[in-house]
Amino acid sequence: MGGKMGADSGPMGDINVTPLIDVVLVLLVVFMVITPMLSSGLPVDLPMATTTVQVNDVGQHIVISMTEKGEWAVEQEMVEDNAEDALVRLVQAEFNKNPERSILVKADRRLAYGDVRVLMDILAKHRFTTVFVAAGKEG
């Protein structure tokens, strides 16, 4: 009638899924906390674009940011006095870490096109030719 007790019982055949659910929930929380931190570069108010291509930046780009004041930053490191040699040195250091990365320029919407063009000309002059320019979404 009742269940067997003692040494005659064999291994338990049921799978305990509670630890699995705990681990999955912890991983979910970790990814939810980490994901917003993955954006790189400085926070820049991007201009609105008429056509866009959605690019999720998860570290595959070297981000060069231009602030409203016209200051440059490579990733999070500011370029002192917008010096060309300092910019090239920082970009080259990022390429040395991973030469497969491309350059993403993020410029503030209040900047004149000529200011952004100066930066792009410097990059082209030093043969950093794979350049994407980021813009905000329309509307």
Digit-coded pLDDT (tens) for 7-45: 556 677 778 888 999 999 999 999 888 877 776 677 777
What does the pLDDT look like over 56-104, one tens digit per residue?
666 778 888 888 888 899 988 888 888 888 999 999 998 888 888 888 8
- What's the pLDDT at 117? 87
What does the pLDDT look like over 109-137, one tens digit per residue?
888 888 888 888 899 898 886 566 665 54
Q: Which has the closest alpha carbon to 94: 49, 67, 54, 126?
A: 126
- What's the pLDDT at 55? 63
Give the CATH number of domain 39-134. Answer: 3.30.420.270
Q: Which tops the pLDDT comparison, 51 or 128?
A: 128
- pTM of the model as a whole: 0.59
- What's the pLDDT at 137? 47
